[in-house]
A and B are shown apart, each in its own frame.
Chain A
Amino acid sequence: MLLWENMKLALTAIRVNKMRSFLTMLGMIIGISSVIAIVSIGDTMRSMFANEYANIGLNRAICYVMKYDGYYYYGENFTADQVEQIIDAFSDEIEYVSAGEGGKVTGINGRKNYEIVTTGVRGGYDKVQKVDIISGRMIDDRDYEGKKNNIVLEEATAQELFGTADVTGRTLKIKYTPSGSSGDVIDDFNIVGVYRNSQSVLMRVLGGTDNSRGLAYLPESILTDIETNGMFSIDMFVSEDAPATFQQQFINYVARVTNAEPENVRYSSAEEEMMMIDSMMSSLSMAVGAIAAISLIVGGIGIMNIMLVSVTERTREIGIRKALGARTGDVLTQFLIESAVISLVGGIIGASLGAGVVIIGGTALGVDVVVKPSVMLMAFAFSALVGIFFGLYPARKAAKSDPIKALRYE
């Protein structure tokens, strides 16, 4: 009962001294809002990276072999036979394999030249990776086996070269370096399909150029002849059902097949990379958030200061309350609650402000903002704690005052 009375009392005190209360809260408002904003921006970035990796494919992995004799350098390419042997051994776990070949070519339509980044693919690529075909089809096994001059363009590339996305069935001259050739050649390619690539949110926000922008797909066999050149790396998609021990098994097997030491077999998966970035980002936002939290101490000292002034100003009131039967604990609670309420109200305003700024900014950039309710609740709890901690000294001063002296205080 007394708790509720004290809350009302505290709110009244805040209302009566509006300007002073606001200035006192300002420290908490700034502190809490910056912590909330920083943590929310961090969480948003993490979710954006997670999306980005989900697009690339979390189950994508690349494996290649290094050599070591004092220095590391790249080992020999996998031969076609080795690759076949490896794939056969893990046929259940590996869903798609390619050499990961690709490169820049120039697309020519009449007098228009346009640089296109290509990726060599085999049939089934669209089964492991989302390709949003809007007309025609994706490169398939027959294109790969037959080394057909077929290409799948991105919508924007088609627009750039032909002025329309409706280009399926048309021909595009491409200047490139075919496998086994040392010079550029210009060949006719049939456009068998067009796909749409929505630029990633992350790239849009960071303002960078997206590597996947303008990416064109063509049969990998056009770019490299695995039978003669082998493969530098095995670029693969691992089944989601693969056991946790897959990576180590795979490395050991590759080492055996290629006569390399297992520690020289390099294996990097998108998932690992993402987890690394995620943990980096989360510790970074924690660190920056902690720095911002220092301002909360400043805010707390502001509260302590004003509570001391308030206790002095209200010495007589404290004396009256004691004369009327208030116990030491009652006075202590009254002032503690008052400082906790000031701090909490500041925290609530600050948290709303911080979250509001992040949400407005995110909306303007078209980003799905992540503002965790748990973080908000923690901010509220923490601001109340700051109030109680810094209110303790002034409240004790009030509670211990002698009623006779307090009543005489002018």
Chain B
Amino acid sequence: MSEIIKIQNLQKVYDTGAIQVHALKNINLTIEQGEYVAIMGQSGSGKSTLMNILGCLDRPTEGQYFLDGIEVGKLSENKLSLVRNKKIGFVFQSFHLIPRTSAMKNVELPMIYGKMHARKRRERAKELLCKVGLEKRLDHLPQELSGGQRQRVAIARALANDPPIILADEPTGNLDTASSVEIMELFTQLNQEGVTVIVVTHEDDIAEFTKRVIRFQDGQILKDTKRGEQ
């Protein structure tokens, strides 16, 4: 298996002028293609910072981050946008769908920025919404959908450009237990299809679904356990 994510000696310092916050301290981490990982930790542990860096929304202060062999820290703004578009599918806690825009249009969005042809785009959006079980909700607006349904639209959107990695930041944080289980089962299914899934969570029963748990504390990796090794 190939290394999809490789982080070496990564540091992240937030310089607010008055104080310097050392959010990540000397992180070394490798994630292989097809893994199913949970990143856990309390708030302030640095897991969100790592998430932002993994998602190419932020850059490391020091150290190197290779995503699919590309060193991301050296890329320009626009190149980073392209990497996000092609390599990463985001799933957020509060869904982050574009309001007043249909499920179809939301799923099409990454493909629009990926410059995919309109007809192909619509076909793919429909296919993905069917895959997440929303074939009857194609033209619904986000506010007309339940939380679980919204998150499924977001997952369909994350899959739009067929990225190798899904980054989910507290994907079940705003959902009831039943919906949470449904969403996690969907991630499990996607992982079985070969997608690398990284879930940030603070709930143990969510982490239960994954195969590897990385615990964070004070900006450092506390524990990295693979299921079956326990």
Contact = CB atoms under 8 A, between A and B. Distances in A.
Interface of A: 1-2, 5, 12, 16, 316-317, 319-330, 403-404, 407
Contacts of B114: 325
Interface string B103-134: 00000011011110010000000000000000
Interface in B70-115: 77-78, 81-82, 84-86, 90, 92, 96-101, 109-110, 112-115
B162 interface: no
A403 B82 CA distance: 14
The CB with the most chain B CB atoms within 10 A, among A319, A321, A327, is that of A327
Interface of B: 52, 55, 57-58, 77-78, 81-82, 84-86, 90, 92, 96-101, 109-110, 112-115, 118, 157, 161
Contacts of A16: 100
Contact of A325 (B52, B85, B96, B118): B85
6 contacts: A16-B100, A321-B98, A322-B84, A323-B96, A324-B85, A328-B77
Given A1-B115, A317-B98, A324 B78 contact: no
Given A323-B90, A324-B157, A325-B113, A407 B96 contact: yes
Contacts of A1: 112, 115, 118
Contacts of B77: 327-328
A1 B113 CA distance: 10
Given A317-B99, A321-B109, A2 B84 contact: no
A317 B161 CA distance: 19
B109 A403 contact: no
B58 A325 contact: no
Given A404-B52, A404-B57, A326 B113 contact: yes
Nearest to B160: A324
A330 B113 contact: yes
A2 B111 CA distance: 11
A407 B95 CA distance: 11
Contacts of A328: 77-78, 81
B96 A320 contact: yes
B112 A404 contact: no
**Residue in B86, B90, B112 whose Cβ sees the most chain A Cβ within 10 Å:** B112
A220 to B, nearest CB: 81
Main secondary structure of the interface of A (DSSP, over half): helix
Given A320-B98, A328-B78, 13 more contacts: A1-B112, A12-B101, A316-B96, A320-B97, A323-B84, A323-B96, A324-B84, A325-B84, A325-B113, A327-B78, A330-B113, A404-B52, A404-B57
Contacts of A5: 112
B58 A404 contact: yes
A337 B133 CA distance: 35
A319 B82 CA distance: 15
Contacts of B55: 323
Nearest to A316: B96
Contacts of A321: 98, 109, 113
A16 B141 CA distance: 13
A178 B1 CA distance: 123
Nearest to B110: A324
Interface centre among B55, B82, B113, B115 (most CB of A within 10 A): B113
B93 to A, nearest CB: 10
A321 B96 CA distance: 10
A138 B85 CA distance: 88
Given A323-B55, A325-B81, A2 B115 contact: yes
A2 B112 contact: yes
Contacts of A317: 98-99
A41 B100 CA distance: 44
A407 B84 CA distance: 15
B96 A326 contact: no
Nearest to B96: A320
Contacts of A407: 57, 92, 96
Contacts of A403: 57
Nearest 8 pairs between A and B by C-beta?
Answer: A325-B85, A325-B113, A327-B81, A324-B110, A327-B78, A320-B96, A325-B84, A403-B57
Contacts of A322: 57, 81, 84
A362 B139 CA distance: 49
A334 to B, nearest CB: 11
Nearest to B113: A325
A8 to B, nearest CB: 10
Given A1-B118, A2-B112, A317-B99, A326 B92 contact: no
